[in-house]
């Protein structure tokens, strides 16, 4: 086997056993002792071990390289970066500079990516200066990395300036700027960049659709996906895009559209991808088809933590507390350890099903058995659990003794429980706290106003209305969605004939007259 064929074999290798055999062959033939071949082969081996998720073996390969060159150091930086250790990657970058390695475009790209993921703007600017000193700024790949680094650090003005100064802008340059605006929650600017792109690829479409979902615009995300199918024929769908679109379907309960996506998944044989399967479980759960969610969940061969958590959340969403606890027990039996999100889902399930004892036990086990530190969301679940069960004093005691300062959500949860169980005195305390923390929340004013009206406390109710007028707070109109033949329609309480389809308005009017006639 010559070097070229060996290199090609390493590049295509996806099996750990096969990789180990090739590694052993290199050692037997003494190829790793040849100074000329060592650098190139070692980098290929390092890259191959990284691709199969064996970080330790990859690091051993690097340690065996005598006088590693810039290519070897770049491989090492990328290894740490893709292993979720960007700070370690930056440390190695500093070390290689001390060793006298002169950076090239590939090395600075790895360093800039690490600065972006670490949100280390200071070192990112140092690397930027290095780019300018070594005349690497003409390379579009370096420019894209600079845009990404400044975007991840929230400096969009600098990212846009670098983009404007780039002489050669490819689709990745545009996508880097697009991603930057999405990372900074600038959906409108992101859409302007997207619409101005001379060409788009799958990455740019996925980024824009995901940006809409992230910004709370799921209908816009679905419309973009439909436009992509028209413009590009939908021939190059990937697991990431499918997952994002299914998430948008879940947000608005677009069951028909989600089932169409499910059909695409089957057609393109993406059903074995655990990320896609998890997204389908979430979509069916939130769209009211818990039976289909369970069926897909049971078909997942290699369930990861997110699979278990998604199924638990599905049961919690439907108030099936006992089923959620059963899935949680099965997860522990399978050897998968929960994280904070999993425990939050289980506690939510207990809260919605009124399982007070089970919820308390889980909260205790979270600290003592799973060694997880409860966050404010977990305390919020316990307050909600106790409040729903009418244990208002216990809920208030949890708020008073918790080591974290309670936020408006926790006080709002107690306020809602007080409203349900008619405890006006405690509701006044909780309402005052919510107003202090979030003075523009219209819901708390309306809840207190309703309670005062029920209690015939008209003076206090009038004061609430007066306070709302002074602060110019208006009750936000309710909003709902309906999925008809794959088209999601959005409705608001304030919709009139100008906003709603005339035919639909006529139908609703007929239903109202019919119900009044027969006294439904």
**Residue pLDDT, tens place only, 318-358:** 999 999 999 999 999 999 999 999 999 999 999 999 999 99
What pLDDT shows up at residue 16?
47
What share of the chain in percent tops pLDDT 70? Answer: 80
Choice among 281-285, 342-346, 367-371, 516-520 with the minimum mean pLDDT: 516-520
| pLDDT tens for each residue of 397-451 | 999 999 999 999 999 999 999 999 989 989 999 988 988 888 888 888 888 888 8
- What does each C-alpha distance from 509 to 444, 480, 487, 496 come to in angstroms? 33, 18, 22, 12
Query: Of residues 335 and 11, which shows the higher confidence score?
Result: 335
Q: Is the pLDDT of residue 174 over 60?
A: yes
Average pLDDT, the chain: 83
| In contact, 284 and 296? CB cutoff 8 Å | yes
Range with the poorest average pLDDT among 2-16, 179-193, 378-392, 394-408: 2-16
197-201, 280-284, 337-341 — which is least confidently predicted? 197-201
pLDDT at 29: 43
Write the pLDDT tens digit of every residue in 13-31. Answer: 545 455 455 555 555 545 4
For tokens 């769908």, what's the residue? 237
Q: End-to-end alpha-carbon separation of the chain, Å?
A: 83
Model confidence band, residue 37 (pLDDT cutoffs 50, 70, 90): very low
Contacts of 25 (CB under 8 A, 6+ apart): 1
Hey, how many other C-beta atoms are within 10 angstroms of the C-beta on 236? Answer: 11
- DSSP secondary structure code for residue 199 in this structure: S
**Average of pLDDT values for 87-113?**
91
Check residue 238 and give its pLDDT.
Answer: 83
Q: Residue range 67-89: average pLDDT?
A: 85
DSSP 8-state secondary structure symbol assigned to residue 477: P
Portion of the chain with pLDDT greater than 90, in percent: 46
Residue among 177, 172, 143 at smallest CA distance from 160: 177
Give yes or no for a contact between 41 and 26, defined as CB atoms under 8 angstroms apart: yes
Q: Could you tell me the two tokens for 109?
A: 């790209």
Main-chain dihedrals φ then ψ at residue 245, nearest 5 degrees: -65, -40
Would you tell me how many other CB atoms lie within 10 Å of the CB of residue 199?
Answer: 8
Cα–Cα distance between 451 and 376 in angstroms, integer? 27
pLDDT of residue 467: 83
Q: Tell me the pLDDT band of 263, cut-offs 50, 70 and 90.
A: confident
**Please, which pLDDT band fits residue 32 given cuts at 50, 70 and 90?**
very low
More confident residue, 115 or 273: 115
Query: What pLDDT score does 41 carry?
Result: 63
pLDDT at 509: 72
Residue 266: its pLDDT value, please?
A: 82
- 286-304 confidence digits (pLDDT tens): 998 999 999 999 999 889 9
At residue 151 the predicted structure's pLDDT band, cuts being 50, 70 and 90, is: very high
Cα–Cα distance measured from residue 477 to residue 443, given in angstroms and rounded to the nearest whole number: 11
pLDDT of residue 229: 80
* Alpha-helical runs (H) found in 134-170: 140-152, 156-165
Per-residue pLDDT tens for 451-499?
Answer: 888 888 888 888 888 888 887 876 655 566 565 555 555 665 555 544 5
- Separation CA 161–CA 406 (nearest Å): 42
């Amino acid at each position: 086997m010559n070097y070229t064929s060996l290199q090609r074999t390493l590049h295509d290798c996806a099996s750990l056993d096969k990789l180990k055999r090739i590694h052993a062959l290199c050692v037997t033939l003494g190829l790793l002792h040849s100074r000329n071949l060592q650098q190139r082969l070692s980098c290929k081996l390092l890259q191959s071990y990284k691709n199969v998720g064996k970080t330790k073996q990859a690091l051993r390969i690097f340690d065996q390289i005598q006088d590693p060159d810039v290519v070897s150091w770049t491989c090492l930086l990328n290894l740490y970066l893709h292993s979720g250790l960007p700070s370690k990657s930056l440390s190695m970058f500093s070390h290689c500079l001390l060793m006298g390695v002169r950076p090239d475009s590939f090395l600075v790209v790895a360093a800039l990516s690490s600065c972006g993921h670490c949100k280390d703007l200071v070192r990112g600017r140092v690397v930027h200066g290095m780019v300018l000193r070594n005349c690497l700024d003409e390379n579009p790949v370096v420019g894209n990395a600079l845009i990404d680094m400044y975007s991840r650090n929230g400096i969009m003005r600098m990212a846009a300036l670098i983009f404007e100064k780039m002489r050669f802008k490819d689709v990745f340059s545009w996508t880097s700027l697009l991603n930057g605006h999405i990372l900074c929650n600038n959906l409108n600017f992101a859409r302007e960049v997207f619409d101005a792109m001379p060409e788009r690829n799958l990455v740019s479409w996925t980024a824009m659709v995901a940006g809409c979902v992230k910004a709370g615009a799921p209908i816009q995300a679905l419309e973009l996906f439909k436009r992509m199918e028209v413009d590009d024929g939908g021939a190059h769908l990937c697991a990431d895009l499918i997952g994002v679109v299914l998430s948008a379907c879940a947000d608005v309960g677009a069951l028909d559209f989600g089932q169409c996506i499910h059909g695409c998944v089957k057609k393109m044989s993406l059903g074995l991808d655990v990320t896609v399967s998890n997204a389908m479980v979430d979509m069916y759960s939130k769209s009211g088809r818990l039976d289909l969610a369970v069926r897909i969940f049971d078909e997942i061969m290699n369930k990861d933590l997110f699979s278990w958590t998604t199924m638990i959340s599905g049961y919690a969403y439907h108030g099936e507390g006992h089923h959620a606890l059963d899935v949680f027990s099965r997860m522990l039996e399978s050897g998968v350890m929960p994280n904070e999100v999993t425990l939050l889902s289980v506690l939510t399930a207990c809260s919605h099903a009124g399982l007070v004892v089970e919820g308390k036990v889980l909260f205790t086990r979270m600290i003592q058995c799973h060694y997880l530190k409860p966050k404010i969301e977990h305390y919020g679940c316990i307050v909600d659990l106790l409040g729903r069960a009418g244990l208002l004093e216990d809920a208030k005691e949890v708020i008073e003794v918790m080591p974290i300062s309670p936020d408006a959500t926790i006080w709002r949860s107690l306020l809602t429980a007080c409203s349900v169980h008619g405890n006006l005195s405690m509701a006044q305390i909780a309402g005052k706290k919510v107003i202090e923390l979030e003075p523009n929340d219209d819901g708390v004013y309306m809840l207190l106003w309703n309670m005062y009206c029920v209690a015939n406390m008209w003076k206090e109710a009038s004061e609430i209305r007066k306070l709302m007028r002074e602060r110019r707070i208006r009750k936000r109109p309710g909003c709902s969605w309906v999925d008809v033949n794959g088209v999601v329609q959005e409705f608001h309480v304030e919709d009139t004939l100008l906003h709603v389809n005339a035919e639909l308005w006529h139908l609703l009017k007929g239903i109202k007259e019919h119900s009044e006639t027969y006294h439904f």
